[in-house]
Structure 1
Amino acid sequence: MRLLVIDGNSIANRAFFGIKLLTTKDGRYTNAIYGFLNILLSLLKECEPDEVAVAFDLKAPTFRHKMYDGYKATRHGMPEELAQQMPVLKELLADLGYREVTAEGWEADDILGTLAAACAARRDDCFLATGDRDSLQLVSDTTTVLLAATVMGRSKTVTMDVDAIQEKYGIQPRQLIEVKSLMGDTSDNIPGVRGIGEKTALALVQKFGTLENVYANIDDKLIKPKQREHLLECKADAELSHLLGTIRTDAPIDTAEGAYKVGEGNKAAAVKLLQELEIHSLIPRFGLDGVAPAADPETLPAVEGSVDVLPLTPSGHYLLAARPAVTGKQGTKNVVLQPEAWYAVQDTTVYPLSDDALVRLLDDPAVTLDVFDSAPLYALAMAHGGWGSSIVWDGKLAAYLLDASASKYQVSELLTSYKAQAAFTCEAWPDAGSLADLFARMKAEITARDEDALYNEIEFPLAQVLADMTRTGILVDRDGIEAFGLRMRSELSEVLARIHMETGSASFNPNSPKQLGEMLFDTMGLPHGKKTQRGWSTDAETLESLRDYPLVEDILQYRAYQKLNSTYVEGLLKVIGEDGRIHSTFNQTEARTGRLSSDNPNLQNIPIRTELGSQLRAYFIAKPGCVLVDADYSQIELRILAHITGDEHMQQAFLNGEDIHRSTAAKIYGIPQEEVTSRLRSSAKAINFGIMYGKGAYSLAKDIGVTVKEADAFLKNYLAAFPKVSGYMDKTIADAKAVGYVSTLFGRRRALPELASSNFNVRSSGERMARNTPIQGTAADVIKLAMVRVWKRLRDEKMESRLILTVHDELIVEAPQAEAEKAAQILREEMEGCVQYAVPLSTDVHAGKNWLEAH
């Protein structure tokens, strides 16, 4: 028999601090629950146990507290965000069939010890999963500790058996009690012996075996005079520490074989609770994907719906959604077991849709469609010469607007989140009956949050724009990219040859962090930074600080050439379509700030900061007879900052067309603008942008190359010179803490549960997001609105010009040469005129045969 015993509090604690704060749509914390269940699944796979027990501590004092008032007196209380999750976790474990084990007056460690001893008596295998090293004393021939640890910033389970203890500590597991009695334990406030740390304690136990034998040999030469003095002074503390540090094996709990077999639990309740917690991904992993969630008592029975064939001449309003594809394995291959299937709902009738019927619906003037996920529908319509004009609303976009922090949006999960009621039941299409209520609830919430304009004027029309941009794509010069790749590979060979000559080793691999660290810092003795468990850190920041050394400069060049070749040259060549164009997919529902992203390929990351990288843009070209017209917002986030804070100096600088960074430096130092040096301007530029991201003196110091003290003084001077900026930032954080979210000027919300965290670092991260999101998010809203207006204008004026690309604050139109001037005018008018703020928006517009020339 094989028993797995989980230290519930310890693993939950690890999960909580190991995963960023996660919350449900209604604000319940879930990160500890999600992390714990993932760890549980990993343990089940690793151990394949016959029985599972989950031990938890109780709040009541234990016998150790009664023995010593100071026991665990220095421990901080459980964070409230974790405390709220503990009862829910226990309820969920019970529903999943796992038995909780507690004993008043005893600790979870003692439960682990008692169950391990019972297994040992039966010669059964026992696995103890914990993050507490105290349990290592329980390791034996039958007991293995699965220690949850953090290695290189990542969670990892370390298997500790008798051999592992011997290798790490040079003693037997039970002797760890003797070590603890000497060195004490600050986390549990166990005193030990003053002046004796782990190294000395281990040496004494390796030599004498036990605490008793240490005192029996107190005059041995191994014990130094000062140590001897401390040992004699603290003998009572050492003996008390021995008692406190010994895990008991006689806790009053059930130890019978079979007592902890995983039961049936309440699977329907487990599914319901996982859905309510929005942890949908774990439902199939626990084998519950075929289980219907427990019904709410107040839920009324639904009528039976019907399935019919869509009329040849459909009319009226329909709800449109897709049953997602189901994948599985055949041997080692992933295969589609059930393809995606679209269906339409009208009243209580469900119409499964063929491709032809679906296309017919999308542009039928007698039909209006509320859909879930318009992007593929617009793409389908456009592929057949239409525009998807029947689509009037998109539930996926609504879900994103209402909760931008979700990792994905699926109908089945949203039905639970919104507690949507079924108007009818349909076995073949189980979600169909609830669509109407789901959509109605989402529409009502958007209205209640005053986000109707944001949805109707920006998010919804933008989906059609993005579909058209993906369909159109951008032409590339394949031959030019291939030639650039040849150049990169030639440069790589040359720089690698130099690296091998400089290191004196033809086998040196610059891609190996371990080899690189040893070469730079051990062999060559260069100044080094932090050392990790795997060796010296050779991250970009470390190497940049050593750029003056020729070898390091070559290493950085090697990395740059390698990235350009592998990520961009090889990556771009793979995704060129048959028409010679790249059709990047634009993602509208990913970024929490409202920004767009793209993939296959990610055109947002095409390099521009380096001369070599920016040359890639030369291979994005206009088709014959056309030019690319590129319009880029000038300092849009700073202009929004000036508007949002109401700072008169910043506003006046923009209104006068001044250099905002030079103007800022002059204001901070009280000098005329003509006396501002390039160094002062660079510092002002760094702080102008840094203030929006909540950067402190330390980060600012690194950005502008000064001491932290100088950066701190510079920061204070800035905030004194621009009190309205400082006041706005403080008020934004205070308001966000009060309501739990921040908003853009368009009303887009971003929930910030981090602001309520008891953890300083998490809370500080939330404050940085609170400062930046209203500004960056408003800029994202502005560029989206501009895209909608530019696209509509080009279409309404029946121009051949097409909006084909957006990257951050930049829009690109491919225009026939004869339309280029008018396209540039439309870009400027719509981008600068889409909002009216206290300072004007400004665009830089240029045209060229390729992206590099046009930018």
Structure 2
Amino acid sequence: MKLLAIDGNSILNRSFYGVRGLSNSKGMPTNAIFGFLNMLDKMMAETQPDMVAVAFDRSEPTFRHQQFDGYKANRHGMPEDLAVQLPIAKQLMDALGYHVLECPGFEADDIMGTFARLCREQKVDCVISSGDRDNLQLAGDGVTVRLATNKEAIFYDAEKVKEQYGVTPAELVEVKALMGDSSDNIPGVKGIGEKTALSLISKYHTIDSIFEHIPELDVTTRVKNLLGGETARQMAEMSRELGKIVDNAPIDEDLNAYLVQPQNKEELYRILSELELKKFIEKYGLSGEQRTETPAVTEQAIQYEILQNPSLESAKELLQKAGQIDFLYEQARLLIAENDKILEYTFGAEQAFSELVLQSPLPKRTHDVKTIYHVASSMGEKLENIIFSTDLAAYLLDALAKSYDLPILMEKYLTKAISVEEQYQEIAAFPLLCDTMKELLEQKGMAKLLAEIELPLSRVLASMEMEGFQVDVQGVRQFGEMLQLEIDQLTAEIHDMAGEEFNINSPKELGRILFDKLQLPTGKKTKTGYSTNVDVLEKLSAYHPIANAVLEYRKLTKLNSTYVAGLLKVTGADHRVHSVFKQTETRTGRISSTEPNMQNIPIRTELGRKMRRFFTAKEGYVLLDADYSQIELRVLAHIANDQKMIEGFLHNADIHTMTAAQVFHLPPEMVTSEMRRRAKAINFGIVYGIGAFSLSQDIHVSVAEAREYINSYLNTYPGVKQYMEQIVEQSAKTGNVTTMFGRVRELPEIQSSNKNIRAFGERVALNTPIQGTAADIIKIAMVRVYESLKQEKLDARLILQVHDELLIESSIQDAPRAKEILKQQMEQAVSLSVPMKVDVAEGKTWYDAKD
């Protein structure tokens, strides 16, 4: 008989950080569960157990917290994306027939320790699976520890522990007593690191033996002084108690209670289907009622006539009778579908495209219209009267879709197979696809959104991509050279402080310098070496200047490699960057950009902001920069119809100071900058459906204090509170949520029986109307600014959009009028119960115009 005891928190945590960016189509993160199930399958194959128990920590304090109130005090809370997966993982364990255990006042390690004792007593083989080497102290006498590492799992018995560490499993607790554990905030003896602790225990075996014979120890004077310190023994003994895994957790001691049970296949299928983990549905041989959004495929009995390279005159006559042009154009091949005829141009396709499509006043439907605008521009012509683009329609119908490629859209939305040769399938089905999607948009109330916002915007984005943004290439290069000089100087200083040259970019080498050589505190050794992340270095800055120097080194090297080198790489021969603006990328309706991602140009540090100096207006031109002030809060005030917030905006009050005054019960003049900062976090956090835990992490207060702030905020703004309650209730009924302009986001997760998935849906329901409406407003403003500049024939072009900011490059003589248009069209893009406030600045560079 064999029992597999799994440290659930440890394995799930490793899975979360080991698998990145995985979620279902509804945005529910699934990476930790995916990795957990993979690791579980591997464990089962390796160990072939008869009994399986999965232990998890509980959130309340344990007996160790009572012994030492600083225990785990420096632990960051569980990331929200991981926390939402934890209860689902437990449900999956139950459904798989494995036993889930949690014990109030005890940790998962203690449940492991109890299983180790029970298995020894009952002569049952035991495998403990964990990613935490603390469990190695349990190895031996029939207990094997399967330690997960970044590469592969390693099985430890007592001999393997001795071989690896030079001490017995039981002596590992004595090692921890000396070296401590920064991850759990176990103090140990100040100044004693892992290397010294292992050496001492391998010779003297216990801390009692060490402290009773300090004068005779075969160690350096420094180590003797550290051990002879006033509180050294007291700290070591307390650390030993904290680090020792106990074996008396209150669990069922009859090991037969943990025999693997039959799988609940129905529950497994339900959970895995919601998570969209098809791999495991297949692996576990599950099946259930299959749902499909479209009815069974039938064949469309139209006989198509293929007209290859027909005369342009006959084609024009045909199109004129049809009154509309449905076309696809790519790689010098033009395809047009009209009733039962398909026109194909492979010879003279560019001329046919020009005469039949670009020069025609007829309404047109196509796919990926932004690309078509580029093609037209490259030919020196214009594309007019576009009334439908299937990629944009598909984005409105399903903002969560992974792809808007034409073949995928046809498979998704069409219920009829087209009887035509394969190379003509897409164009033959295209009119039907447009009609089907148009009808769906009308049913969902989004036809106007496509016609008035998304389609006009595609022209604007194409123009912005073609215009580009001038870069001072020489300035960027000089900036990079200056950065490199600073990096070289810092490198020399760091090496001088370390007393040797080493690779600063290597966490392993840096950890050796910081913790083995310089003996700095709070060293947490992971399976691959010491942690040297930002949090660790910030704590170390109080002990040694090398920590701040390394932090500065990392900042400068990232700026140099990511932004300086990255920007030069994508700057064209015309000394302009031509970003690609993506219209169908985000779930909220916002625009994103790549090559380069202009939203990532650094603005948080002064050195980073200097990068904006290298984005310049061309000779004889200036940059006009306009930014919406607190657009999301203004949208919230309007949608929630909160009178107090509306009054604040109408009287031009500082909304964050006003909120702070209400939340902290103080007159506005007594609000400190820290209070305002916290109120700002609450104001914007509410928009994103923030919870007490996340807010506590953002503003560094207790969860209880954060909860009190949120409650006080909602009492201050009762309209917001009512809105939040109503929008969640309404979304739960309809299964979707809508912005002010009718943009619909489907929310099937809000109707889920799983409370964690449902909670995720509720957060989306809260923030989508705010973020989505703000996104629509900036799009409307972009279209109006573009059209106004064009209508007045100003020598000014919209060249950039970043979040709530628009940038125009204008000739100096037209700048005053362009500035008026920019401010006017942005502020009048929408009529709300509060004014839209826009600040406009002017400068030769983006830095000057922004700051």
With the length of structure 2 as denominator, give the TM-score of the two structures. Answer: 0.66
Kindly indicate whether the alpha-carbon contact (under 8 Å) linking 2:466 and 2:578 is maintained by their aligned counterparts in 1.
yes
- 2:712 maps to 1:717: yes
SS in 1 for 2:298: coil
Q: What residue number does 1:430 align with?
A: 425
Give the letter aligned to residue 412 of structure 2: S
Structure 1 Cα separation of the partners of residues 434 and 277 of structure 2: 18
Give the letter aligned to residue 309 of structure 1: Q
Gaps of 5+ in 1: 1-12, 47-53, 55-63, 86-101, 108-130, 135-146, 172-229, 249-273, 281-292, 324-338
- Judge which range, 348-357 or 445-454, deviates more: 348-357
The alpha carbon displacement at 1:676 in A equals 1.8
Give the letter aligned to residue 300 of structure 1: E
Taking structure 1 as reference, are residues 837 and 523 closer, same or farther at Cα in structure 2, changes over 3 Å only? farther
Structure 1 Cα separation of the partners of residues 796 and 252 of structure 2: 88
Q: What residue number does 2:507 align with?
A: 513
The alpha carbon displacement at 1:433 in A equals 2.4
SS in 1 for 2:793: coil
Within the candidate set 335, 339, 342, 1:350 is matched to 342
Kindly indicate whether the alpha-carbon contact (under 8 Å) linking 1:637 and 1:775 is maintained by their aligned counterparts in 2.
yes
The alpha carbon displacement at 1:483 in A equals 0.7
Q: What residue number does 2:533 align with?
A: 539
Within the candidate set 308, 315, 319, 2:326 is matched to 319
Taking structure 1 as reference, are residues 751 and 526 closer, same or farther at Cα in structure 2, changes over 3 Å only? farther
Within the candidate set 682, 690, 696, 1:695 is matched to 690
Q: What residue number does 2:809 align with?
A: 814
Give the letter aligned to residue 500 of structure 1: H
Kindly indicate whether the alpha-carbon contact (under 8 Å) linking 2:386 and 2:455 is maintained by their aligned counterparts in 1.
no
The alpha carbon displacement at 1:554 in A equals 1.6
Q: How many residues are matched?
A: 645
SS in 2 for 1:841: coil
Q: What residue number does 2:492 align with?
A: 497
Instruction: Indicate the RMSD between aligned Cα atoms, in angstroms.
Output: 4.8
- 2:462 maps to 1:471: no
SS in 2 for 1:627: strand
Taking structure 1 as reference, are residues 22 and 420 closer, same or farther at Cα in structure 2, changes over 3 Å only? farther
SS in 1 for 2:424: coil
Q: What residue number does 1:767 align with?
A: 762
- 2:483 maps to 1:488: yes
Kindly indicate whether the alpha-carbon contact (under 8 Å) linking 1:603 and 1:807 is maintained by their aligned counterparts in 2.
yes
Taking structure 1 as reference, are residues 296 and 681 closer, same or farther at Cα in structure 2, changes over 3 Å only? closer
Taking structure 1 as reference, are residues 589 and 435 closer, same or farther at Cα in structure 2, changes over 3 Å only? same
Q: What residue number does 2:826 align with?
A: 831
Within the candidate set 563, 588, 601, 2:558 is matched to 563
Q: What residue number does 1:462 align with?
A: 457
Q: What residue number does 2:303 align with?
A: 304
Within the candidate set 398, 405, 409, 1:403 is matched to 398
Give the letter aligned to residue 347 of structure 1: N
Correspondence 1:182-331 to 2 at 5 A? 237=254, 240=256, 244=259, 299-310=298-309, 311-313=311-313, 314=316, 315=319, 316-321=323-328
The alpha carbon displacement at 1:501 in A equals 1.9
Q: What residue number does 1:805 align with?
A: 800
Give the letter aligned to residue 326 of structure 2: L
Structure 1 Cα separation of the partners of residues 810 and 723 of structure 2: 42
The alpha carbon displacement at 1:408 in A equals 1.5
Taking structure 1 as reference, are residues 541 and 640 closer, same or farther at Cα in structure 2, changes over 3 Å only? farther
Structure 2 Cα separation of the partners of residues 481 and 813 of structure 1: 22
- Judge which range, 570-579 or 415-424, deviates more: 415-424
Give the letter aligned to residue 337 of structure 2: V
Taking structure 1 as reference, are residues 72 and 16 closer, same or farther at Cα in structure 2, changes over 3 Å only? closer
SS in 1 for 2:299: coil
Structure 1 Cα separation of the partners of residues 253 and 590 of structure 2: 64
Kindly indicate whether the alpha-carbon contact (under 8 Å) linking 1:362 and 1:390 is maintained by their aligned counterparts in 2.
no
Kindly indicate whether the alpha-carbon contact (under 8 Å) linking 1:666 and 1:676 is maintained by their aligned counterparts in 2.
yes
Kindly indicate whether the alpha-carbon contact (under 8 Å) linking 2:295 and 2:415 is maintained by their aligned counterparts in 1.
no
Kindly indicate whether the alpha-carbon contact (under 8 Å) linking 1:372 and 1:394 is maintained by their aligned counterparts in 2.
yes
- CA-to-partner distance for each residue in 1:770-794, whole Å, 9 max, x for gaps? 3222211211111011000000111
Structure 1 Cα separation of the partners of residues 699 and 785 of structure 2: 38
Within the candidate set 625, 629, 634, 2:620 is matched to 625
SS in 1 for 2:422: coil
The alpha carbon displacement at 1:706 in A equals 3.6
Kindly indicate whether the alpha-carbon contact (under 8 Å) linking 1:350 and 1:432 is maintained by their aligned counterparts in 2.
yes
- CA-to-partner distance for each residue in 1:292-318, whole Å, 9 max, x for gaps? x9x986613533323223542433423
Kindly indicate whether the alpha-carbon contact (under 8 Å) linking 2:298 and 2:415 is maintained by their aligned counterparts in 1.
no
SS in 2 for 1:433: helix
Kindly indicate whether the alpha-carbon contact (under 8 Å) linking 2:312 and 2:356 is maintained by their aligned counterparts in 1.
no
The alpha carbon displacement at 1:733 in A equals 2.6
Q: What residue number does 1:227 align with?
A: none
Structure 1 Cα separation of the partners of residues 327 and 683 of structure 2: 47
Q: What residue number does 1:189 align with?
A: none
Correspondence 1:670-819 to 2 at 5 A? 670-757=665-752, 762-819=757-814
Kindly indicate whether the alpha-carbon contact (under 8 Å) linking 1:29 and 1:81 is maintained by their aligned counterparts in 2.
no
The alpha carbon displacement at 1:528 in A equals 3.8
- CA-to-partner distance for each residue in 1:198-252, whole Å, 9 max, x for gaps? xxxxxxxxxxxxxxxxxxxxxxxxxxxxxxxx99xx99946x57x947x99xxxx
Structure 2 Cα separation of the partners of residues 430 and 390 of structure 1: 25
Kindly indicate whether the alpha-carbon contact (under 8 Å) linking 1:278 and 1:413 is maintained by their aligned counterparts in 2.
no
Structure 2 Cα separation of the partners of residues 563 and 380 of structure 1: 37
SS in 1 for 2:363: strand
The alpha carbon displacement at 1:650 in A equals 1.4
Kindly indicate whether the alpha-carbon contact (under 8 Å) linking 2:387 and 2:451 is maintained by their aligned counterparts in 1.
no
Kindly indicate whether the alpha-carbon contact (under 8 Å) linking 2:642 and 2:720 is maintained by their aligned counterparts in 1.
yes
- CA-to-partner distance for each residue in 1:815-834, whole Å, 9 max, x for gaps? 11111110010001100001
The alpha carbon displacement at 1:386 in A equals 2.0
The alpha carbon displacement at 1:766 in A equals 3.5
- CA-to-partner distance for each residue in 1:12-68, whole Å, 9 max, x for gaps? x999997988667xx899979x979x989xx9xx9xxxxxxx9xxxxxxxxx99xxx
- 2:385 maps to 1:378: no
Give the letter aligned to residue 490 of structure 1: L
Gaps of 5+ in 2: 1-11, 57-84, 100-126, 131-144, 164-246, 263-272, 280-291
- CA-to-partner distance for each residue in 1:184-211, whole Å, 9 max, x for gaps? xxxxxxxxxxxxxxxxxxxxxxxxxxxx
Taking structure 1 as reference, are residues 718 and 39 closer, same or farther at Cα in structure 2, changes over 3 Å only? closer
The alpha carbon displacement at 1:436 in A equals 1.8
SS in 2 for 1:303: coil
Kindly indicate whether the alpha-carbon contact (under 8 Å) linking 2:296 and 2:415 is maintained by their aligned counterparts in 1.
no
Taking structure 1 as reference, are residues 836 and 577 closer, same or farther at Cα in structure 2, changes over 3 Å only? same
SS in 1 for 2:364: strand
Taking structure 1 as reference, are residues 527 and 278 closer, same or farther at Cα in structure 2, changes over 3 Å only? closer
Kindly indicate whether the alpha-carbon contact (under 8 Å) linking 2:28 and 2:760 is maintained by their aligned counterparts in 1.
no
SS in 2 for 1:408: coil
Kindly indicate whether the alpha-carbon contact (under 8 Å) linking 2:327 and 2:366 is maintained by their aligned counterparts in 1.
yes
Structure 2 Cα separation of the partners of residues 385 and 591 of structure 1: 32
Structure 1 Cα separation of the partners of residues 153 and 846 of structure 2: 55
- CA-to-partner distance for each residue in 1:334-383, whole Å, 9 max, x for gaps? xxxxx795522222322334334334444222443210111111001112
Kindly indicate whether the alpha-carbon contact (under 8 Å) linking 1:362 and 1:377 is maintained by their aligned counterparts in 2.
no
Structure 1 Cα separation of the partners of residues 663 and 535 of structure 2: 29
Kindly indicate whether the alpha-carbon contact (under 8 Å) linking 2:469 and 2:578 is maintained by their aligned counterparts in 1.
yes
Kindly indicate whether the alpha-carbon contact (under 8 Å) linking 1:401 and 1:748 is maintained by their aligned counterparts in 2.
yes
Identity of aligned pairs, percent? 40
Kindly indicate whether the alpha-carbon contact (under 8 Å) linking 2:335 and 2:344 is maintained by their aligned counterparts in 1.
yes
SS in 2 for 1:319: strand
Q: What residue number does 1:98 align with?
A: none
